[in-house]
Structure 1
Amino acid sequence: MKVLLDTNIIIHREANKIHNPDIGLLLYWIDKLKYDKYIHPLTIEELNRYQDVNSVKTMNIKIESYNQLKYQAPLNDAIIQVSNQVDKSQNDLNDTQILNEVFANRVDILISEDKKIHLKAKLLGIADRVFRIQSFLEKATAENPELVEHKVLAVKKVDFAEVNLNDNFFDSFRSDYKEFDKWFNSKAEQPCYVCYSDDHLTAFLYVKIEKAYEESYSDIIPNFEPKKRLKIGTLKVTSNGYKIGERFLKTIFDNALLFRVEEIYVTIFDKRPEQEQLMEMLEEWGFYKHGIKNSQNGQEIVYVRTFNKHLPVNIENPKLTFPFFSRQTDKYLIKIEPQYHTELFPDSINTREDKAKYTENEPHRNRISKVYISHSPDRNLKSGDIVLIYRIGETAPKKYSSTVTSICIVESIKNSFTDFEDFFNCCNRRTMISKEDLRTNWWNKFPNYKPFIINFLYAHSLPTPKPTLNDLIDLKIFKDPMSLPKGFAKLTNEQFDNLISFAYKKKEKK
């Protein structure tokens, strides 16, 4: 397979100082998979325009290890039209020429951190062949688990004092904030969230609850109104293919719910690719640019997320108002076999299961976004619908071991696929099912009746003890254990409300 590396990847990798350490892991995987690395002639031209002569010499020596494209593919009408629509500068035009190598099938995939390249790839219908570092690593680790040599540990809540401040992971914070080390040490006994890979820190999160009228926000323009807020004080995730960023978002939203805040905010510099990716992730999940924050360290962008269950829910794009849902949509109960359940819903683990087996070291566990695959004839679910997850019990009697564990929100439905690869790409990294299993037991199970998939968001884990099948019978949702349908069980508004009320009252009686 031919992998074309965009200019920003090469420059960051081969410059005297590596600005993005994730690129090392990217190249490790490309070599491990025995893919061929290519660079474009325009990349070489840009490298040679560097002002530092020594850096140019060093980079030219290093890039000899890459394959160089001998010819540039001509632009056709379709890509010229997209270029006219998007490109504003000579750099944009050069990026289009690089993207064109994928569009013209001269190379198989392109890896780039450039936002406009990904926009143009989407407009050209080749977004599935243009990757960011993170998305490529996710694909590589999910499709080749036998090649994963590093061990990624679960996200853990620890005190600041338990984290090594001298870790190189924090160098970017020290670069952005002069007082970072002093600030970090002042938080010694406060909690934070961390994730390690082979004993190396790969993700860090700190959140702070700010009460109304206790903060001035004088350095934020426009100034904040008094509200109870959750501040994302520190957030950094390196690319490792395990979707830890989304897992941290779940932690942020869970804390916001727990402390009943009205707003979440974060301040971010816009200096490096990983900060740009963080802003894109936040925008995807409903954060918007509020303004700026001025300090001795410079000017930061302020992102805000309104967090109030009484505000209108975005049914068409539920990520924007996650984890809140509308009670005006349809409600369903979906059955899931126990061997799949906790892999997808680690926060909803059964009290009898071994938690050590379900640490968040797989992409499908860390994602808020999940996928459910079904051959059910009932394919009328739509975005914004509510799905209750029903974990089938393993021990008899099933009416006591089967439980309702989670509340999810339907994001989208995909009912048709061009071929198996299209089906696999829609499922990949959102499910624990292997590619071969997807082919044999799902895609080819009924040759004339293909499966469909539900993309949904894992919003809430019901409190323990969770409602059992026996409780569902007592609540008159089902007549008896044999009355559960094979596909989806549609619930009335009254049944849904009664079940949720019962679940939380059961917690109070515990």
Structure 2
Amino acid sequence: MILERLSFKNINLSDPFFDSLKADYKEFPSWFAKKAEDTAYVFKNEHGLIDGFLYVKVEEGMVGDVTPPLPPTRRLKVGTMKINAHGTKLGERFIKKIFDHAIFEKVREAYVTVFSEHRPLILLLEKYGFQQVGTKTSHNGTELVLTKQLQGISEDVVRSYPLVRLAHQKAYLLALQPQWHTRLLPDSILKTETADIVQDVSHTNSIHKVYLAAMSGMEVLKRGDILLIYRTTDGQGPAHYRSVATSVCVVEEYRSLFSFKAQEEFLAYCRPYTVFEESELLTLWKTRKYPHVIRFTYNIALRKRVTRAVMIEEVGMDAGAYWGFMPLTHQQLVNVLRRGLVDESLVVNQA
């Protein structure tokens, strides 16, 4: 499942995928032609036909063609988003793309207009914090206007995504070996200070993750807890300098492997979001060696990796502790995030 970022001029408007958009928006073909040099995300199925299309752009000022008007600000407009759902996670990947662009462009709001009959799309947007704030009426009919604020935070960790609430939340360091880290958190191997952040990386580019581990003490994890992901040494030098903090995630759910009543229930839970292949999952189920099952959202890739040396010498973390899974103080987490050059707008430090 590879998303391509293509120029409009290289996208086939005659693909049947666009028929419904042409029906909903009479001006769609002429609008499409005017965008010849712009780019959009396109997903094609195994037959080469389009199954997903996403176009976003930055706007400045007031949005006056909706009721009530949106006040002046810099915001991201989701110009077009359509998905043919076939049981894939494409909708979620598009949502992640929207937020990737919003963060990269440093906007505080994203908005989209959608006809009310497109209920599955509306439910998807609402799941990640979009809310209806008005309507837009044109010769095509009346659409709903939904916005996502990238500053306020919800009580729900998914609706708050990609923001991270620090206040009153417990935080832990979670170590991943390099081979699992690369599979699980692809953005964390990018030079994220460049526009590469908005490129699709791999099939693992998703918001939700499932990971299995055997480290003691992990059963304390609760929804909303923060995970500082720590990639252990890659063997290219001393661990003191090659082991690094790379990412910030938020726990959605902790489950014991033994809470699953049957193999198929376990596979259905893990399969969509895990780093493990099905054969690996089957082995994990049979051996029961990794009893901790964690589902979490992948919120932030640190712009600068923070080494074990820095975390010990500057942040004050205990060199003698077990750096597999261990609690962090609020101040330790904040100090690591600052050294990782995390965008302060993504971190909410107050209650």
TM-score by length of 2: 0.85
Letter in 2 for 1:376: M
**TM-aligned CA deviation for residue 168 of structure 1:** 2.1
State yes or no: 1:209 paired with 2:55.
no
**TM-aligned CA deviation for residue 467 of structure 1:** 1.6
Say if 2:185 and 2:205, in contact at 8 Å, map to a contact too.
no
Matching residue of 2:322: 485
Question: Identity of paired residues, percent?
Answer: 36
Matching residue of 2:246: 405
Letter in 1 for 2:61: A
Matching residue of 2:33: 185
1:66-77 matched pairs, under 5 angstroms: none
Say if 2:315 and 2:336, in contact at 8 Å, map to a contact too.
no
CA distance in 2, matches of 1:424, 1:195: 26
Letter in 2 for 1:498: N
CA distance in 2, matches of 1:478, 1:268: 49
Matching residue of 2:349: none
SS at match of 1:247: helix
**TM-aligned CA deviation for residue 231 of structure 1:** 1.2
Letter in 1 for 2:37: E
Say if 2:263 and 2:285, in contact at 8 Å, map to a contact too.
no
SS at match of 1:236: strand
Compared CA separation, residues 291 and 479, structure 1 to 2 (3 A) = closer
Letter in 1 for 2:244: T
**Residue 258 of structure 1, aligned match among 79, 104, 108:** 104
Gaps of 5+ in 2: 343-351
**TM-aligned CA deviation for residue 283 of structure 1:** 1.2
**TM-aligned CA deviation for residue 374 of structure 1:** 2.4
**TM-aligned CA deviation for residue 289 of structure 1:** 2.2
Compared CA separation, residues 224 and 383, structure 1 to 2 (3 A) = same
Matching residue of 1:40: none
Q: Deviations over 1:158-179 (max 9, x none)?
A: 3222222222221111111111
Matching residue of 2:185: 345
Letter in 1 for 2:119: E
Matching residue of 1:144: none
1:61-140 matched pairs, under 5 angstroms: none
CA distance in 2, matches of 1:158, 1:484: 48
Say if 2:210 and 2:275, in contact at 8 Å, map to a contact too.
no
Q: Deviations over 1:254-309 (max 9, x none)?
A: 222223323221111234xxx3211111111111222321111111122222221x
Compared CA separation, residues 476 and 296, structure 1 to 2 (3 A) = closer
**Residue 385 of structure 1, aligned match among 225, 228, 250:** 225
Say if 1:263 and 1:306, in contact at 8 Å, map to a contact too.
yes
Say if 2:317 and 2:332, in contact at 8 Å, map to a contact too.
no
Say if 1:408 and 1:460, in contact at 8 Å, map to a contact too.
yes
**Residue 173 of structure 2, aligned match among 327, 333, 339:** 333
**TM-aligned CA deviation for residue 479 of structure 1:** 4.4
Q: Deviations over 1:128-165 (max 9, x none)?
A: xxxxxxxxxxxxxxxxxxxxxxxx32x23332222222
SS at match of 1:264: strand
State yes or no: 1:175 paired with 2:61.
no
SS at match of 1:221: coil
Q: Deviations over 1:332-383 (max 9, x none)?
A: 11111222212221111267xxx9xx97553xx1320111222333211212
Q: Deviations over 1:46-91 (max 9, x none)?
A: xxxxxxxxxxxxxxxxxxxxxxxxxxxxxxxxxxxxxxxxxxxxxx
SS at match of 1:383: coil
State yes or no: 1:158 paired with 2:6.
yes
Matching residue of 2:347: none
CA distance in 1, matches of 2:116, 2:12: 26
**TM-aligned CA deviation for residue 189 of structure 1:** 1.8
SS at match of 2:303: coil
1:450-461 matched pairs, under 5 angstroms: 451-461=291-301
CA distance in 2, matches of 1:360, 1:442: 29
1:317-466 matched pairs, under 5 angstroms: 317-328=156-167, 329-349=169-189, 362=203, 365-378=204-217, 379-395=219-235, 396-415=237-256, 416-441=259-284, 444-446=287-289, 451-464=291-304, 466=305
TM-score by length of 1: 0.60
Matching residue of 1:471: 310
CA distance in 2, matches of 1:241, 1:399: 44
Compared CA separation, residues 472 and 490, structure 1 to 2 (3 A) = same
Say if 2:211 and 2:275, in contact at 8 Å, map to a contact too.
no
**TM-aligned CA deviation for residue 208 of structure 1:** 1.8
Say if 1:413 and 1:455, in contact at 8 Å, map to a contact too.
yes
SS at match of 1:433: coil
Matching residue of 1:98: none
Letter in 2 for 1:344: L
Letter in 2 for 1:195: F
SS at match of 1:225: strand
SS at match of 2:12: coil
More contact order relative to length (CA 8 Å, sep ≥ 6): 2
Compared CA separation, residues 492 and 486, structure 1 to 2 (3 A) = closer
Say if 1:242 and 1:361, in contact at 8 Å, map to a contact too.
no
Q: Deviations over 1:310-336 (max 9, x none)?
A: x3x334x21111111111111111111
**TM-aligned CA deviation for residue 486 of structure 1:** 5.7
Say if 1:443 and 1:451, in contact at 8 Å, map to a contact too.
no
Matching residue of 2:137: 294
CA distance in 2, matches of 1:454, 1:443: 18
Q: Which structure is higher in strand share?
A: 2
Say if 2:172 and 2:328, in contact at 8 Å, map to a contact too.
yes
Compared CA separation, residues 283 and 350, structure 1 to 2 (3 A) = closer
**Residue 232 of structure 1, aligned match among 78, 92, 95:** 78
Say if 2:315 and 2:335, in contact at 8 Å, map to a contact too.
no
How many residues align structurally?
A: 330
**TM-aligned CA deviation for residue 400 of structure 1:** 2.7
